[in-house]
Amino acid sequence: MTAPENTPPRRVSLIGLGVMGGPIARHLTHAGHALTLYNRSPAKVDAWRKANADCHVTVARGPDEAARGADVVITCVGNDDDLADVVLGPQGVMQAMVRGSLLIDHTTASARIARQIAVEGRDHEVHCVDAPMTGAQPGAEAGTLTLMCGGKPAAVELARPVMAAYARRIVHVGKAGTGQVTKMINQVSMAGILASLGEALRLAQAEHLDLERVYEAISGGAAQSWQMDAHWGTMARDEFDFGLTIDLMRKDLGLALDEGRGLGLSFPVAALVDQFYADLQAMGAGKQDITALVRRLPRRGVHKG
């Protein structure tokens, strides 16, 4: 994917080369941006460079070094603590970013830290956007991610041409922190859909139905969902070694449940599915895709004829 027409190349630094950051880095270089990388584990940088030998990048020794002189800094790390370290810590990017530069954070984190970063950005005269992602690893690889963005309108508009290198849909949902809250809403929605989809699949299997015919019948009606279209077949075949892991989904649901508690709200379905995922972690499935939720439901039933 190339940069949008009339978008000049920028000096971009990317912090975090995980399953999402790695593909994003590749799209940024293909779009013509001058890219600097930093990852706490140098081995990941070495592996990325070996796998992307056609991409010219500079490697930094720390977040502050990566951010020094950059027009845009992108962070894509694990959680609030990681984000606080690489952005707000003594060697964090905020200490090195120049006035008028842009910080885009793709970490799925709390709204609280997104707001804290926005305040620090205001004090340093740095534009900040919290832009968690949906689309999982396949979306990152294809450059078709959806980004839900919180921040000032001017900051989001500055970020949009850069993010367009790896995202198909970029939506500004509101002020700082609202991108993170929107991601929580997304994960709460997914939890209920996946739980019911697994139950529906097990019913079809217990009745010994033709699963392709069942999918054909129900995917064109009111039960249709993106999860059904993407994962009915993989769930039926017990394929779970891809995508968003159960460990990460529990982190995401924990953020949503905490946010709800702070507002005096309870989410009983999401809380129940979170416990289902805890069961799967106990089974050793924490690194499997979230669709492995169906594994909690045994295959039973005899066709009634």
Domain 11-176 has CATH 3.40.50.720: yes
On whether the 183-296 domain is CATH 1.10.1040.10, my answer is yes
- Which pLDDT score, from 0 to 100, does residue 7 have? 59
Residue 5 has what pLDDT? Answer: 45
Where does 207-267 have alpha helices with state H? Answer: 211-218, 226-236, 246-262
> Residues 152, 183, 251, 287: which is the catalytic one?
183
With CA atoms as reference, report the closest residue to 102 among 71, 59, 123.
71
Residues of the chain with CATH 1.10.1040.10: 183-296
Residue 171 neighbours by CB distance under 10 Å: 13
Beta strands of the chain (E only): which ranges? 11-15, 34-38, 57-59, 72-75, 102-105, 127-130, 133-134, 145-150, 167-174
Question: Is residue 120 within 8 Å of residue 88, measured between CB atoms?
Answer: yes
- Going by the DSSP 8-state scheme, the letter that residue 245 receives in this structure is B
Residue 3 is predicted with a pLDDT of 40
Q: What is the pLDDT of residue 243?
A: 83
- Closest alpha carbon to 248 in 283, 281, 272: 281
Token pair of 219 as six digits: 């995917």
Residue 236: per-residue pLDDT? 96
By percentage, how much of the chain surpasses pLDDT 70?
Answer: 96
Q: Kindly report, as residue ranges, where domains of CATH 3.40.50.720 are found in the chain.
A: 11-176
The whole-chain average pLDDT of the chain stands at 94
34 contacts 70 by C-beta, under 8 angstroms: no
Query: Is 44 marked active-site?
Result: no
pLDDT value of residue 138: 87
* DSSP string computed for 88-132: ISTTSGGGTPPTT-EEEE-----HHHHHHHHHHHHHHT-EEEE--
Residues with pLDDT less than 50, the chain:
1-6, 302-305
pTM of the predicted model, to two decimals?
0.91
- pLDDT at position 1 is 36
pLDDT digits (tens, 9 = 90+) for 33-89: 999 999 999 999 999 999 999 999 999 999 999 999 999 999 999 999 999 999 999
134, 167 Cβ separation under 8 angstroms: no
Q: Rounded distance, CA 52 to CA 129, Å?
A: 28
CB-based contacts of 232-236 (< 8 A; 24+ apart in sequence): 232/197, 232/201, 234/289, 234/291, 235/197, 235/198, 235/201, 235/291, 235/294, 236/201, 236/205, 236/211
Q: Cα 222–227–233 angle (5° rounding)?
A: 105
